Structure 1
């Protein structure tokens, strides 16, 4: 058992030997006693002494004769206005305008496994024989019921602890059991009150082409917040964060990780009060959110994950990587080798013919590349970004036999065929818009903002989702399409749902992303083997919600190898190598103008899903032969790269060096990427110390460029390291392979 209940049913301890989360009912309120490294529970330890009942001036008690002070309690799902002045986890507006709730404990249930969340992506207990098993003992779920008797507001808090991982999944099911409507204006997925604030917050910030760069700063009194109000998780702030002790580094120390299984507006913040306690919250952004609950209706919050480590940040990342690969991704592609692909975008942009595509594909097939992806420009009147979005019918002038014809010809080369869509968008110059201008998200009487000459379709409207599904289904069922690149190039502005009344306008952003998820679900029901790579103007929607459907996501539109070192390094804190869409692209690079060797570009891209985005017809025979060798090498190492444990060795943010490595689970093999970003004249001695090896075993270590070949013990490699002083001028790379001998 991983969930222990006290004899009186008023104390709950979730533990699996690596994490403990202990709660108790005190004066009717559900409070947190402890969260952190696992502590024993033989049924004799009360842990009630962890309740904070100290008096502080101006603190109110819970009830007239209460002994607990609301503002000091570490509440599991706090409300505002009954003595707790910190941000609440929930707020429900009643018909009289009151926002006060008082949620009291009702009861609990425990079940093996992990139930799915209706209409939302979520983790699951395990994959067995290629299918999701919800009632598996690989996880156990506790549901605790709370109720506000005055209004009938009822909440079930779900806690799932995984048998083998220090992770607890959290969500809330909120119901109106009263007689009058309620409007939720806040519905947090995870609230965690910690007794101190001796932590630093690591956020992952950026913008287009420079996504998910770690930013670390100490917690301080007040609120530190990251959020999105764009209708998508976005590239600016990722819906994940690490809360780490100041002395925590990659290899030692204590930290919590927070990850949101959601792709829409989010709020993640740490609130530190002036007594040094910390409240962490993660959920749907309450700004502009208002969800009306008629009597009998319910609202399910998205899932949030809380991970823990006392062994440093590498261990925390590896935990979340296993959660993604074993408990989040669709069974059809979980831990399955991805195809090496070539995408025509940077080779042709909109300027292509079918013969040009086939010429490119033939060279790719000769190099051993297994998937050809036709990007934007194949449909409607789409010869630029000004027209055609929404008209998902092949342009006969470019593809005389349609998608079925070019797919058949690509298949004839021994390759799979993939296709680009941007299903959520429409151009004003399109047949779809001319037929349904009311399907665009726009506020009546307001000037519409525009980006890339496109507008956002209202996926909160089921008719819109139905129409897009029917067009995509027609294409996918009429041709042998193995892969879809799903793009999303602009955010929501002038948010208004023309299909609903004034009292429902606060529901649009959430209903929109539910509509997106429903389209994914319907496509996979019809085409279970289909790969959909998430892409949102690069990495603008790289989150656990999308990864529940897509085995991989395009990490960034910035394909420059040096820039990708920083982007992929930061992404790796929560996302495994197997999820990071990463390609060898053209040089000089189209985003930075920088030129890098083919070897350097491949040495970075192989620590991702791996593929190419360049015009092979412009290359000489030597480069084409080198690409063939790169593809063969990657395929030989793909399982190690995608399923091994990732260790970050050198951070690239000083713009000098970077390094990382993947180690097999049994520690018999490893692959290392070692990079020089800026060369240093008269360079000092440099040693790269490895991680994750068996210190007692001996390894044969050799570099793919032939510069290093030796037999060393794991202990020596981790403590003394590899002398890489000779590596590179600017933009140089070396890949090492390690095998036990």
Structure 2
């Protein structure tokens, strides 16, 4: 891992673990991409920049064939000869939008700097990474940009970010500020995205590139259920374990765009960053603007290789705090058991039933505050509902603690109900535009986190509550997207900064609260998986993967989520049957097996289940305690895709290749079915493995090459968990 600069050729050679990224300063002026891929020794690829004269491509110099329209630029601008998608765009007081950034210099330093006010991947020592900063400037208007690149010694990762400075005498408007732009010399890729909707998040969608632009985006004020801030480009021969894959992931929780533009010469430009719609940042002289971080991953071992790189990086150098390296507790949440209708005695009965089955944490969901008996009131009134909890949270937490369980609580701190004391006192504290309606969604409005007074109120109120009882877990929810995006405190020229300022304010609030309460396990939620992104994971180590707890639907949701995110970040629970979202009837065994592939828990009334179900749950909980460290910290391999057929399979294997957990799931029964032989991955071929619970012993080479035969299963919705230990 290193960054080398060769002044004679003006070449920067960035080398991550097994990756090279090469930048050339063309004409001593334009940072140009020469290569991104598997590690190579010689960085001088300038001979590959030559091209014939392109008709209608503007020439920078009349006597020479040199045009920005085909140059593979590191950070292309708008309006000076490159007709492809720009990475940045500005507007000057005279109304013009032309700017051209020229190379001025560079610095190389050990380690990785933090980003002011934004989440980012981190290092724990300077010898883990090296950072290159390229300084570019438009001297005519005084606009400076610093392009930051960090390469990692133990990961095939390059992180990129950009910071703009106005060093001129007039204000500048940033209309577009992408975090990364990468040009490829061809378009022979498949574009992979993670898309869906509420209760069917992050399904895998793959399509070939062709002329024009393909993009995924969110303009909802959140990363969204519909799209994820990620794209991957797969070589045409790529599989799970072979072929080249390029991933781009944005460490951000708000409006974003990830896109690829294929031009007339079939070159491809991939970009990711803040969505330009609704973004217009006012830079006064002396001010600066920091764009979010993009995490770029190259894999020459297929989609699985890319995923495992993201998993390890995000698990160990994005997630922070006490719970990064600790097994997560097994919980019971009362939401689907009681909804808003509960009493302290009812809660205690559910908690007691959970404790008897070996559970470790009880979570009180919605309905405990204000006058909250349904979803049309009291958000913002973060004081105890005395009608339901006459002795307060302390009494309830003590009851749960006396059972030997931890106590957790649900919040939705970003929202306010019109029917609330907070809204009646501060109607200007919500996002709104003067003289326009205040559109409600789920009977609620959004607090304006761009305001310092709102942030201070939330930090103090939530901190007081978390200090009032022995609370060890918080589920932080957010259940609507932004409309009428405006702030009562921002001047007219800064109104289109509101959406981004909201996210910056959210990060400030989360950082303050999680720092004050490091012993609390925070789980983020947004109607389930509506904000499952790297930005949130920087503050909260896990996310409620989806409000859909149906085991069959969760196969696709969790499989798709695993493209980028490790199992340790996924909340995955067993709920009642018939399922409350789709009405499907599935066995407790299958529901448990699917949920075991994440942070395990239950969402049902344990006080009413029968003896047979209690016996099964007790076994599931005991098994989870045996394997949860493996699930949360092991390498993950996808074996059979639910998007390709009736079967799904995946496996977790420890880094030392001693233990492995394999999950197999079949959705529908088939008459006279074919025999499934499941071939495992990454075992030690020289070791023998015992299938726990049996006397069967298999060679690692046999399990990987010949496989293991799945026994005959009768009926729909079947599953099997196989736990192997080397002997």
TM bucket (normalised to shorter chain) is: over 0.9
Moved more, 395-404 or 137-146: 395-404
Please state how far the C-alpha of 1:387 moved relative to its aligned partner. 0.7
- Contact 1:203–1:242 under 8 Å retained in 2: yes
Structure-2 separation of matches of 1:341 and 1:395: 23
The structure 1 residue matched to 2:53, chosen from 52, 55, 59, is: 55
Please state how far the C-alpha of 1:65 moved relative to its aligned partner. 5.6
Equivalent position SS for 1:172 = strand
Structure-1 separation of matches of 2:325 and 2:21: 30
Structure-2 separation of matches of 1:727 and 1:520: 47
Structure 1 residues 388 and 17: CA distance shift in structure 2, 3 A: closer
Structure-2 separation of matches of 1:320 and 1:52: 35
- Contact 2:689–2:699 under 8 Å retained in 1: yes
Task: Kindly report which structure 2 residues correspond to 1:96-107, keeping only aligned pairs within 5 A, or say none.
Answer: 96-107=94-105
Equivalent position SS for 1:549 = coil
Equivalent residue, structure 2, for 1:735: 721
Moved more, 325-334 or 104-113: 325-334
Structure-2 separation of matches of 1:60 and 1:19: 34
Structure 1 residues 66 and 374: CA distance shift in structure 2, 3 A: farther
Equivalent position SS for 1:652 = coil
- Contact 1:52–1:72 under 8 Å retained in 2: no
The structure 2 residue matched to 1:659, chosen from 640, 649, 655, is: 649
Which blocks of at least 5 consecutive residues in structure 2 are unaligned?
none
Query: Per-residue displacement from partner, 1:186-240 (whole Å, max 9, x unpaired)?
Result: 0000100111110000111100000000010001110000000000000101111
Please state how far the C-alpha of 1:66 moved relative to its aligned partner. 5.5
Structure-2 separation of matches of 1:569 and 1:17: 27
- Contact 1:122–1:261 under 8 Å retained in 2: yes
- Contact 2:17–2:152 under 8 Å retained in 1: no
Is 1:489 the counterpart of 2:517? The answer is no
- Contact 1:426–1:454 under 8 Å retained in 2: yes
Structure 1 residues 65 and 137: CA distance shift in structure 2, 3 A: farther
Equivalent residue, structure 1, for 2:135: 145
- Contact 2:151–2:159 under 8 Å retained in 1: yes
- Contact 1:267–1:284 under 8 Å retained in 2: yes
Equivalent residue, structure 1, for 2:366: 376
The structure 2 residue matched to 1:75, chosen from 73, 76, 100, is: 73
Query: Per-residue displacement from partner, 1:123-153 (whole Å, max 9, x unpaired)?
Result: 0013xxxxxx4xx210111000000011101
Structure-1 separation of matches of 2:229 and 2:579: 29
Is 1:407 the counterpart of 2:416? The answer is no
Structure-1 separation of matches of 2:436 and 2:658: 63
Structure-1 separation of matches of 2:666 and 2:246: 32
Equivalent position SS for 1:76 = coil
Equivalent residue, structure 2, for 1:535: 525
Is 1:112 the counterpart of 2:113? The answer is no
Please state how far the C-alpha of 1:574 moved relative to its aligned partner. 0.3
Query: Per-residue displacement from partner, 1:64-107 (whole Å, max 9, x unpaired)?
Result: 56552111100000001111011111111011111111100011
Task: Kindly report which structure 2 residues correspond to 1:112-191, keeping only aligned pairs within 5 A, or say none.
Answer: 112-126=110-124, 133=125, 136-191=126-181
Task: Kindly report which structure 2 residues correspond to 1:336-735, keeping only aligned pairs within 5 A, or say none.
Answer: 336-654=326-644, 656-702=646-692, 709-735=695-721
Structure 1 residues 379 and 11: CA distance shift in structure 2, 3 A: same
Equivalent residue, structure 2, for 1:39: 40
Structure-1 separation of matches of 2:639 and 2:650: 5
Query: Per-residue displacement from partner, 1:410-449 (whole Å, max 9, x unpaired)?
Result: 1111111110000010110000000001111122122222
Please state how far the C-alpha of 1:530 moved relative to its aligned partner. 1.7
Please state how far the C-alpha of 1:611 moved relative to its aligned partner. 0.4
TM-score (norm 2): 0.98
Moved more, 587-596 or 693-702: 693-702
Is 1:243 the counterpart of 2:233? The answer is yes
Equivalent residue, structure 2, for 1:130: none
TM-score (norm 1): 0.96
Structure-2 separation of matches of 1:66 and 1:451: 59
Equivalent position SS for 1:150 = coil
Structure-1 separation of matches of 2:356 and 2:63: 81
Structure 1 residues 508 and 9: CA distance shift in structure 2, 3 A: farther
Query: Per-residue displacement from partner, 1:557-587 (whole Å, max 9, x unpaired)?
Result: 0000011011000000000011100001111
Equivalent residue, structure 2, for 1:93: 91
Equivalent position SS for 2:712 = coil
Equivalent position SS for 2:36 = strand
- Contact 1:655–1:678 under 8 Å retained in 2: no
Please state how far the C-alpha of 1:399 moved relative to its aligned partner. 1.2
- Contact 2:204–2:643 under 8 Å retained in 1: no
Structure-2 separation of matches of 1:384 and 1:462: 30
Equivalent position SS for 2:656 = coil
- Contact 2:573–2:595 under 8 Å retained in 1: yes
Structure-2 separation of matches of 1:69 and 1:39: 28
Q: Provide the aligned length of Structure 1 versus Structure 2.
A: 726
Equivalent residue, structure 1, for 2:271: 281
- Contact 2:525–2:544 under 8 Å retained in 1: yes
Please state how far the C-alpha of 1:398 moved relative to its aligned partner. 1.1
Query: Per-residue displacement from partner, 1:672-700 (whole Å, max 9, x unpaired)?
Result: 00111011011122211111112222211
Task: Kindly report which structure 2 residues correspond to 1:173-212, keeping only aligned pairs within 5 A, or say none.
Answer: 173-212=163-202
Structure-2 separation of matches of 1:470 and 1:405: 22
Equivalent position SS for 2:448 = coil
Equivalent position SS for 2:201 = coil
Structure-2 separation of matches of 1:266 and 1:285: 4
Equivalent position SS for 2:289 = strand
Structure-2 separation of matches of 1:235 and 1:292: 30
- Contact 1:655–1:677 under 8 Å retained in 2: no
- Contact 1:687–1:725 under 8 Å retained in 2: no
Equivalent residue, structure 2, for 1:129: none
- Contact 1:676–1:729 under 8 Å retained in 2: no
Q: CA RMSD in A?
A: 1.2
Moved more, 495-504 or 506-515: 495-504
Structure-1 separation of matches of 2:149 and 2:59: 28
- Contact 2:635–2:654 under 8 Å retained in 1: yes
Structure 1 residues 568 and 728: CA distance shift in structure 2, 3 A: farther
